[in-house]
């Protein structure tokens, strides 16, 4: 007799009973799904989570008390249950998407305006997002022992250590084997991110020590207008000076600069100082802003004292820029496959063997600090 796999236990949170019924009906069509409970507001949702210990919470954004309140409460209680937000206006890069992801949502799925399209989106987009959220919950974050349920594997158990640059069987494994190359401490950090980047950036930037003072420049692939919102949200969450890049800004005027959507951002020397320059040149690697453009500029100005970081994302932006950083004697670290939403940008760097370390997103902040700390003294 074959043992059937345990069903995915879902708690649905929505203030409209009609929506709860519709989602329950569509999700229950999946053979491996069980709706274990429903809630209509944050307070009842928190009580049901503690009572039922669901595998995942599916909630709308516009709850009466706000989904952000729910996410913040779960963070305060150290609850690691994955939360998938399903509502209108959650397209990638939208302010609502960024708000939810920075507050701790595991995934955001845009709900269609047409009711007759709901079944297809639930089956084709929401269900895969639920499964991915559960799979990532055991590797993407480290949770305290007070969590309602413990992950099946720890991060160390799930990730076998191998020398940097090796990708056995095409699978990424974490590595932090010191490079044979000798590079000076980094005096600037350049970060590339795309799909899944906002929450990866939040994880990395909040993990840095409070007194970390090395300037950070970031390319996050986003449309024009959304990078302002991202900078504001990261500033609020991290307590650091985060700003959207602008022409003629001095590097030290903010600790963290984010390239504006639709424009390249470069770092250049101005006498004894360093500043930013924006460009409307053609896209590179099909991107504008492009991490390759930013990485090349910091390598030209800072040489071997550059630390490049390539996080989750589609495409290969950052590959040629990483090559420039390494050619100048600088260092490059990349996010591992297990904690990446899309492992394409980091993989391109790994396959070219340009990285000094491959790390889970939860360990990248510590590694940035380690590779910069002598320059802060």
> Which CATH number goes with the domain that contains 103?
3.40.50.2300
Query: How far is the C-alpha of 307 from the C-alpha of 347, rounded, in Å?
Result: 18
Give per-residue pLDDT as tens, 320-345: 999 999 999 999 999 999 888 788 99
The answer to whether residue 250 is domain-embedded is yes
Angle formed at CA 328 by CA 325 and CA 333, multiple of 5 degrees:
35
**Catalytic choice (221, 264, 316, 369):** 221
In the chain, the number of structural domains is 2
Does position 169 have pLDDT exceeding 60, yes or no? no
Domain shared by 174 and 214, yes or no: yes
Report the CATH number that the domain containing residue 359 is assigned in CATH. 3.40.50.180
Residue 307 has pLDDT above 90, yes or no: yes
Range of the domain at 183: 159-376
Residue 79 confidence (pLDDT): 81
221 catalytic? Reply is yes
Cα–Cα dist 222/313, whole Å: 12
Q: Which of 317, 340, 356, 369 is catalytic?
A: 317
Least confident span in 27-31, 58-62, 217-221: 27-31
Known catalytic membership, residue 286 = no
Residue given tokens 């991110």 in the structure block: 193
Whether residue 84 has pLDDT greater than 60: yes
| 238 confidence band (pLDDT: 50, 70, 90) | confident
pLDDT of 146: 27
Six-digit token string for 280: 């409307």
- Determine if residue 61 is left, alpha or beta; phi over 0 gives left, psi from -120 to 50 gives alpha, anything else beta: alpha
Cα(339)–Cα(207) distance, integer angstroms: 16
Task: Tell me the pLDDT tens digit for each residue of 103-154.
Answer: 778 889 999 888 788 888 998 899 998 988 887 654 333 322 222 222 222 2
* 3-class secondary structure per residue, 172-204: CCCECCCCCCCCCCCCEEEEEECCCHHHHHHHH
| Residue 2 located in a structural domain | no
Please tell me which residue in 127, 183, 194, 322 is annotated as part of the active site: 194
Q: Is 336 labeled as catalytic in the residue annotation?
A: no
Write the DSSP string, 99-132: HHHHHT-SEEEEPPSSGGGHHHHIIIIIHHHHHH
Residues 255 and 348 in one domain: yes
Q: Which of 316, 318, 367 is nearest to 342 (CA)?
A: 316
Q: Given this model, what pLDDT does residue 152 score?
A: 29
CB 274 within 8 A of CB 267: yes
User: Is the model's pLDDT at 214 over the cut of 90?
Assistant: yes
Tell me: do 113 and 228 sit in the same domain.
no
């Amino acid at each position: 007799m074959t043992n059937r796999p345990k069903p995915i236990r879902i708690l649905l949170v929505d203030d409209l009973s009609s929506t709860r019924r519709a989602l329950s009906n569509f999700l229950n069509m999946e053979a491996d799904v069980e709706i274990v409970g429903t809630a209509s507001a944050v307070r009842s949702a928190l009580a049901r989570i503690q009572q039922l210990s669901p595998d995942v919470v599916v909630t709308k954004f516009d709850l009466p008390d706000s989904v952000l309140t729910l996410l913040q409460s779960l963070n305060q209680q150290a609850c690691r249950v994955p939360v998938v937000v399903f509502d209108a206006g959650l397209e990638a890069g939208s302010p609502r998407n960024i708000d939810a992801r920075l507050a701790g949502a595991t995934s955001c799925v845009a709900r269609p305006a047409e009711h007759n399209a709901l079944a297809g989106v639930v089956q084709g987009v929401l269900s895969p997002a639920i499964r991915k959220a559960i799979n990532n919950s055991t590797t993407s974050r480290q949770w305290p022992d007070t969590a309602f349920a413990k992950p099946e594997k720890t991060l160390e158990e799930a990730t076998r250590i191998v020398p940097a640059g090796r990708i056995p069987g095409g699978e990424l494994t974490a590595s932090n084997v010191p490079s044979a190359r000798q590079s000076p401490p980094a005096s600037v950090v350049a970060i590339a991110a795309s799909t899944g980047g906002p929450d990866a950036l939040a994880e990395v930037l909040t993990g840095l020590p409070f007194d970390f003072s090395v300037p950070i420049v970031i390319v996050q692939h986003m449309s024009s207008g959304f990078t302002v919102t991202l900078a504001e949200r990261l500033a609020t969450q991290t307590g650091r000076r985060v700003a959207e890049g602008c022409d003629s800004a001095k590097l030290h005027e903010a600790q963290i600069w984010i390239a504006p959507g639709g424009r390249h951002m470069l770092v250049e020397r101005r006498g004894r100082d360093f500043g930013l320059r924006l460009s409307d040149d053609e896209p590179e690697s099909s991107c504008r802003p492009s991490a390759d453009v930013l990485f090349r500029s910091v390598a030209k100005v800072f040489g071997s004292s550059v630390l490049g970081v390539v996080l989750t994302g589609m495409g290969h932006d950052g590959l040629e820029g990483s090559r420039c950083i390494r050619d100048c004697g600088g260092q490059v670290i990349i996010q591992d496959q297990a904690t990446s939403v899309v492992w394409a940008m980091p993989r391109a760097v790994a396959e070219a063997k340009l990285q000094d370390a491959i790390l889970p997103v939860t360990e990248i902040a510590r590694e940035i600090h380690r590779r910069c700390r002598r320059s802060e003294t």
